Amino acid sequence: MMNNDIYEPAEDSYLLQKEIRKYAEGRILDLGTGSGIQALTSIQSPNVREVVAVDINPRAIEELQKKVKEQKLRKMTVLQSDLFQNVDGQFNLIIFNPPYLPQDKVGGKEIIDPALYGGKKGWEISLRFFKQASQYLLSDGHILFLFSSLTNKQKLENIMKSYLFEFQVIAEEKIPFFETLYIYLIKKSDVLIELEKKNIENISYLSQGKRGNVYCGVFDRSRLIKTHFLKKDIIKVGIKIKREDSKAVDRMQNEAFWLKKLNRYNIGPRLLFSSESKESQSIDIKPKTIPSKENELKEKESKEKELKEKVLTEKELQGQKRSQTEYLIYEFVEGEPILDWLKKAHKSQISRALHEIIHQCFILDTLKVNKDEMHHPLKHIIITPSGHVLIDFERCKETKKPKNVTQFVEFLCRIKEELGQKGILINAENLRKLSKEYKESISERNLKPILDLLN
């Protein structure tokens, strides 16, 4: 069943209208304009330069165009569009009062009414909106977003966070039938603004780690080369951002530091960018020279005051360092975790991959570097069509006693049954004995028997 009725103003419209009068300025996009109430309210503000009103419903567009013509509203443009489909440019304010009701049925058939139903669970259209919103919002712009308690509030907040938006509730109102309306004021997070300045686009949430969240995006790699004649080289990138609740200190900077070094040996994902900590600077405050004995007390008080100011300043600088969002950006690694890949691979493929991984572990050992997770690398080794990549170097550190090879050998001993099913027979006792000899004297000579035993 299809309904092309225009959504007429109701409680949600009037609640949103109040906030628009406060925030309307610059260039405004009214998405899903319906009757046009928000667009017509926005255009009344002297601070507004232009209003673009869009809706998917052709009847709504036709009716609003008549009003624009009758009232001679030269600063308003009306377009038919499915969300941002026909929208160009960026805006100071985006208004969105989406359809938020979960899909309903009559006689077993879904009621298709774009003005009311936001998808099967009510939030699907909002998800589509937040996937695209950032590229149409200026860095200092805002979104006014209205939804109802009939939609999953926590789900919507998670969606906003997953696309790196910050938000706050600025208005709410209870209406009949146990429903509450909420208006959120939304803006880009500082890290989103910084990533976009580096020309990272289409950023979306991927997964959650122990210390950071992982996102993916796209980047034109040709921008790294200073010439106007290169073709675009669009690549997928991974973005690791420190979680707000993580107490780990400088882990992202540590990973970036080691990736820069290890990339020279073709180890780890290719690092593109990273955030940098603002190092605390020592502040040299010279005490004033006051020759008069009468002013010795003043001099002492002055020194104490300056010392306090110095301590406070250093604390502030340290606070800035801690509050800065840590992130790193690297070429995305497309592949499978090692055990998942192992189930599908052939004996020759597995043998070749194990040899290559051990060789990389050996390079780490000779560099006196410990990765620290090679005894349980289920999520730290990704097998790709062209080889393998070691990932996650947050805990990587310099050491006099590296143990990357020995840790990985222990891992192989633990999965000997899985390897045996693929025809690779592991003599754990002999392998551990050779590993011990290698540990006592790290060298190619002591590495070779381990590789031979794996053959």
**Interval 241-262 mean pLDDT:** 88
The 10 Å CB-count burial string (b at 16+, else e) for 370-399 is: bbbbbeebeebbbbeeeebbbbbbbebeee
Looking at residue 378, what is its pLDDT? 92
Read off the pLDDT of residues 53-90 as tens digits, 9 standing for 90 and up: 999 999 999 999 999 999 999 999 999 999 999 999 99
Looking at residue 281, what is its pLDDT? 28
Computed over every residue of the chain, the mean pLDDT equals 85
Read off the pLDDT of residues 172-212 as tens digits, 9 standing for 90 and up: 999 887 889 999 999 999 999 999 999 999 898 888 877 88
Looking at residue 352, what is its pLDDT? 94
Q: How many percent of the chain have pLDDT more than 90?
A: 67
Looking at residue 120, what is its pLDDT? 54
- Could you tell me which residues are beta bridge partners of residue 204? 216
Looking at residue 51, what is its pLDDT? 97
Looking at residue 399, what is its pLDDT? 95
Give residue 119's pLDDT band: very low, low, confident or very high (50, 70, 90).
Answer: very low
Helix ranges restricted to H, 206-346: 251-262, 296-323, 338-342
Domains of the chain: 11-188 (3.40.50.150), 190-277+326-332 (3.30.200.20), 278-323 (no CATH), 336-454 (1.10.510)
Would you say 253 and 276 are in contact if contact means Cβ atoms under 8 Å apart? yes
Read off the pLDDT of residues 34-57 as tens digits, 9 standing for 90 and up: 999 999 999 999 999 999 999 999
Instruction: For 105-200, list the strands marked E by DSSP.
Output: 105-106, 109-110, 137-148, 165-175, 179-188
Diameter of the chain measured on Cα atoms: 98
| In the predicted structure, residue 237 carries a pLDDT above the cut 70 | yes
* Residue corresponding to tokens 């160009």: 88
- Could you tell me which residues are beta bridge partners of residue 153? none
Report long-range pairs for 173-179 (Cβ below 8 Å, ≥24 apart). Answer: 173/11, 173/15, 175/11, 178/149, 179/148, 179/149, 179/150
Looking at residue 301, what is its pLDDT? 55
| In the predicted structure, residue 419 carries a pLDDT above the cut 80 | yes
Count CA within 13 A, CB hemisphere, residue 407.
Answer: 21
| In the predicted structure, residue 112 carries a pLDDT above the cut 80 | no
Looking at residue 302, what is its pLDDT? 55
Instruction: For 43-153, list the strands marked E by DSSP.
Output: 48-55, 76-80, 91-96, 105-106, 109-110, 137-148
Distance CA 245, CA 210 (A): 10
Looking at residue 324, what is its pLDDT? 60
Looking at residue 268, what is its pLDDT? 97
Looking at residue 388, what is its pLDDT? 93
The H or E element spanning position 126 is helix 124-133
Read off the pLDDT of residues 353-411 as tens digits, 9 standing for 90 and up: 999 999 999 999 999 999 988 999 999 999 999 899 999 999 999 999 999 999 999 99
| In the predicted structure, residue 292 carries a pLDDT above the cut 50 | no
Distance CA 23, CA 302 (A): 47
| In the predicted structure, residue 238 carries a pLDDT above the cut 50 | yes
**Interval 202-231 mean pLDDT:** 83
Least reliable range by pLDDT among 136-140, 181-185, 226-230: 226-230
More confident residue, 6 or 220: 220
Give residue 232's pLDDT band: very low, low, confident or very high (50, 70, 90).
Answer: confident
Looking at residue 9, what is its pLDDT? 84
Looking at residue 101, what is its pLDDT? 56
> At a CB cut-off of 8 Å and minimum separation 6, what does 177 contact?
none
Least reliable range by pLDDT among 41-45, 70-74, 269-273, 316-320: 316-320
Looking at residue 106, what is its pLDDT? 45
